[in-house]
Amino acid sequence: MAVQNAIDIRNLEKRFAQFKLGPLDLTVPQGAVYGLIGPNGAGKTTTINLIMGMGEKDAGTIRVFGMDHLGQEVAVKKRVGYVAPDLILTAWKTVRRLIAFVRPFYSDWDDAYCEDLMRRLAIGWSDRIASLSYGNATKLRLILALAHRPDLLLLDEPMAGLDAVSKQEVFQEIFDAVQDENRSVLISSHDLHDLERITDHIGFLNRGRMMLEGPTADIVNRYRLVDSISAETTLGQFAGARIVSRENGRLRILLDISQSPLDTLPGRGIEIVAATPVTLEELFIMLVKEG
């Protein structure tokens, strides 16, 4: 029997006054760690909110482990751990009261794991939620998301606004959590260096549309940054090429070698000076600037 994807989004659309998401297709394979990246306002948070049933979509379908995200909402949310910076928890006053409220919703809540997470992240049972620092509030959200050992983690900018120490602590817990090959993860983040280390799938979202999606290594390995010389000053772009800069006959080209292999450039009158791999961050910046 075929393995179901953790998330299947097809033809998703959501319209706002000055922004439209989609039509968007997004696939998170089961067991994958998927990084959703894009500039501010690209639609990352909107996408995650819609998966969680927060807001009404205008078109399309969202399925989580084969289940409709709204028609089977309770079953979906029992299998999901969710972290977002705007998740407000202060109504429960203390950490103890909050966990006592949340715990009964999950039959697989792991008390020992919860205790261990609290110890490692230095969160106390009697801590007042309103008095927690921004970093500690983020850690508390992460504890709530992880303690029932969910099959799917949805992490919306989990390290945004953290200082260096808190960021490292939170990242380590996320890194430990994603080592479980049966757990699927969708993480939205601007920390592209960290995402390149932990993701095996990536999606580039820009202006509400998916630019690229697939295995992280495959996407990064598809591109080269080519420094070159061309006698043709009117050279236009060709398949898979984005001219990053052009000055006095020297070109810097972001090249998708799956569309235009390096050995085809001399036939276009382009002399290669150097061709170097790119990092995920470099690729993202260049694609978004062009996109």
**Within this chain, do residues 155 and 26 fall inside the same structural domain, yes or no?**
yes
**Within this chain, do residues 34 and 144 fall inside the same structural domain, yes or no?**
yes
Interatomic CA distance for residues 28 and 5, integer angstroms: 6
**Within this chain, do residues 64 and 142 fall inside the same structural domain, yes or no?**
yes
Model confidence at 244, pLDDT cuts 50, 70, 90, reads confident
pLDDT of residue 290: 58
**Within this chain, do residues 209 and 116 fall inside the same structural domain, yes or no?**
yes
Question: Quick one: three-class SS letters along 156-210?
Answer: ECCCCCCCHHHHHHHHHHHHHHCCCCCCEEEEECCCHHHHHHHCCEEEEEECCEE
**Within this chain, do residues 149 and 245 fall inside the same structural domain, yes or no?**
no
pLDDT of residue 235: 52
**Within this chain, do residues 209 and 235 fall inside the same structural domain, yes or no?**
no
Model confidence at 253, pLDDT cuts 50, 70, 90, reads confident
pLDDT, tens only, 40-53: 888 999 999 999 99
Q: What pTM, to 2 d.p., does this model score?
A: 0.87
Average pLDDT for residues 100-104, to the nearest whole number? 94
The answer to whether residue 197 is domain-embedded is: yes
The answer to whether residue 2 is domain-embedded is: no
Percentage of the chain with pLDDT > 90? Answer: 52
Query: Across the chain, what does the average pLDDT equal?
Result: 88
**Within this chain, do residues 195 and 231 fall inside the same structural domain, yes or no?**
no
The answer to whether residue 1 is domain-embedded is: no
Q: Tokens 């549309």 label which residue? A: 209
**Within this chain, do residues 103 and 57 fall inside the same structural domain, yes or no?**
yes
Residue partners of 255: CB distance under 8 A and separation at least 6 = 223, 224, 225, 226, 240, 241, 242, 262, 265, 275
The answer to whether residue 247 is domain-embedded is: yes
SS3 percent helix, strand, coil of the chain, rounded to 5, is: 35, 30, 35
Whether 12 shows a pLDDT value over 90: the answer reads: yes
Whether 291 shows a pLDDT value over 60: the answer reads: no
CATH number at residue 18: 3.40.50.300
Helix 164-177 to helix 134-146 angle, to the nearest 10 degrees?
10
pLDDT of residue 114: 95
Q: Does residue 136 contact residue 144 with C-beta atoms inside 8 Å? A: no
Whether 65 shows a pLDDT value over 90: the answer reads: yes
The answer to whether residue 49 is domain-embedded is: yes
Structural domain boundaries, residue 253: 222-290
Tell me which of 218, 234, 262 is where a domain ends.
218
Interatomic CA distance for residues 29 and 199, integer angstroms: 12
Query: C-alpha distances in angstroms, 214 versus 32, 42, 155, 190, 224?
Result: 11, 18, 19, 18, 17
Average pLDDT for residues 107-127, to the nearest whole number? 93
Average pLDDT for residues 8-15, to the nearest whole number? 96
Length of the chain: 291
**Within this chain, do residues 248 and 135 fall inside the same structural domain, yes or no?**
no
Return the H-helix or E-strand segment holding 275: strand 270-277
pLDDT, tens only, 133-172: 888 999 999 999 999 999 999 999 888 778 888 888 888 8
pLDDT of residue 1: 46
Average pLDDT for residues 30-59, to the nearest whole number? 92
